[in-house]
């Protein structure tokens, strides 16, 4: 009898063991499923996430956190959010704790800060431009009057004043346009008219070297804002002149090539001057490697082209060449 009871007890124990094992398996699967879900959620987040154990070992992290592994070494737990600079990029760090786990997150705010700084710089530049515009207008008017009255030997001095005023006026116009945005008022005109406007503008820009200008000889209609397009092309020509001035050669060439296209007016602008040293920030406002640059020329040129249904790009290749596209419509 006792032997029979022992067998029944053993069977019951085996059944209980199977039951416990089944529950444990289900619990483990449930935990695994929950962990997988958490991992997927963490992976989906746009910022770097680390979940740490109480010994600071990593319990869970997403792929962005793995890419920024060295950043984790610099992060300290703080109750308040704080900003940290890592590899020339800005991150906002947040932290929180729950039981024996601590979660750290790092969000890249570089672009947001860039836009905020850019907006602030634009507002300041626009304010300064408005303040400068009135006295510059007065100087321009008085220099024109003065040129008519001075003795012939002093006329070159007055002309130098006028050229300097013209350059300042170009900077003011560019700054105000950048702060307000580009608004193209389109009408039909011939490229030869645009070329004449560029020639007049370049008379105010001096250069010490012999420079040969090669412009398209064929004439064609353009539907666009002539004043804006004159600024666009003049920006590139002025940049090219400065590049040639910095070059060790005594002469240079600037060429604008017109390329036939069904939908666009395409222009390739190249020069024999020094190479571009910072291609990455070419179209970044207020960033310029030129001694005479204000960092707005290429940015505005791109915006003007886009306002004409086109774009500006720097072409890969041995020659330093920009492509300007303007919609024909």
111-146 tens-digit pLDDT = 888 777 767 766 777 777 777 878 888 888 888 889
Rounded Cα gap, residues 55 and 101, in angstroms? 9
Rounded Cα gap, residues 258 and 315, in angstroms? 15
Do residues 255 and 214 touch, judged by C-beta distance below 8 A? yes
H/E stretch holding 176 reads helix 155-180
149-159 tens-digit pLDDT = 888 888 888 88
Do residues 275 and 320 touch, judged by C-beta distance below 8 A? yes
Q: Which residue has the higher pLDDT, 251 or 206?
A: 251
pLDDT of residue 2: 47
* Cα distances (Å, whole numbers) of residue 222 to 87, 192, 263: 46, 10, 12
244-300 tens-digit pLDDT = 988 888 889 999 999 988 899 999 999 998 888 777 777 776 666 555 555 677 888
pTM, to two decimals: 0.58
Average pLDDT of the residues of the chain: 81
**Residue 174 pLDDT greater than 50, yes or no:** yes
pLDDT of residue 5: 57
Number of H helices, E strands in the chain: 8, 12
Residue 282: count other Cβ atoms within 10 Å of its Cβ: 17
Closest C-alpha among 54, 326, 20 to residue 194: 326
Give 36's pLDDT tier (boundaries 50, 70, 90). low
pLDDT of residue 27: 58
Collapsed DSSP state (helix, strand, coil) of residue 138: helix
pLDDT of residue 255: 93
pLDDT above 90 as % of the chain: 16
Q: Which residue has the higher pLDDT, 90 or 277?
A: 90
Do residues 126 and 176 touch, judged by C-beta distance below 8 A? yes
Residues 6+ apart with CB under 8 A from 106: 47, 48, 65, 68, 71, 75, 84, 91, 92, 93
Query: Do β-strands 264-271 and 251-259 pair in parallel, antiparallel, or remain unpaired?
Result: antiparallel
Residue at token pair 């009135």: 134
pLDDT of residue 190: 93
């Amino acid at each position: 009898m006792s032997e029979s009871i022992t067998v029944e007890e053993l069977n019951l124990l085996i059944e209980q063991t199977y039951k416990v094992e089944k529950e444990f398996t289900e619990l483990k699967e449930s935990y695994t499923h929950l962990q997988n879900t958490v991992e997927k959620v963490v992976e989906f987040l746009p910022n770097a996430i680390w979940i740490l154990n109480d010994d600071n070992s990593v319990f869970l992290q997403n792929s962005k956190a793995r890419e920024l592994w060295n950043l984790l070494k610099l992060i300290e737990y703080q109750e308040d959010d704080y900003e940290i600079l890592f590899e020339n990029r800005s991150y906002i760090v947040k932290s929180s704790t729950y039981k024996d786990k601590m979660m750290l997150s790092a969000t890249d705010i570089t672009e947001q800060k860039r836009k905020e700084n850019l907006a602030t710089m634009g507002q300041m530049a626009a304010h300064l431009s408005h303040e400068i515009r009135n006295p510059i207008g007065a100087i321009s008017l008085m220099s024109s009057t003065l040129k008519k009255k001075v003795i012939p030997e002093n006329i070159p001095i007055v002309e130098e004043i006028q050229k300097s005023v013209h350059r300042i006026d170009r900077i003011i116009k560019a700054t105000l346009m950048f702060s307000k945005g580009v608004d193209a008022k389109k009408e039909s005109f011939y490229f030869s008219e645009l070329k004449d406007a560029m020639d007049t503008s370049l008379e105010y820009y001096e250069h010490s070297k012999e420079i040969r200008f090669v412009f398209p000889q064929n004439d064609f209609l353009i539907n666009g804002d002539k004043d804006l397009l004159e600024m666009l092309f003049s920006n590139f020509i002025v940049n090219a002149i400065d590049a040639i001035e910095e070059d060790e050669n005594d002469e240079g060439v600037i060429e604008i090539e017109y390329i036939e296209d069904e939908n666009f007016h395409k222009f390739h602008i190249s020069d024999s001057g020094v190479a571009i040293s910072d291609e990455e920030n070419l179209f970044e406002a207020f960033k310029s490697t030129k001694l005479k640059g204000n960092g707005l020329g290429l940015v505005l040129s791109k915006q003007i082209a886009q306002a004409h249904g086109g774009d500006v790009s720097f072409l890969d290749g041995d020659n330093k060449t920009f492509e300007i596209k303007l919609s024909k419509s």
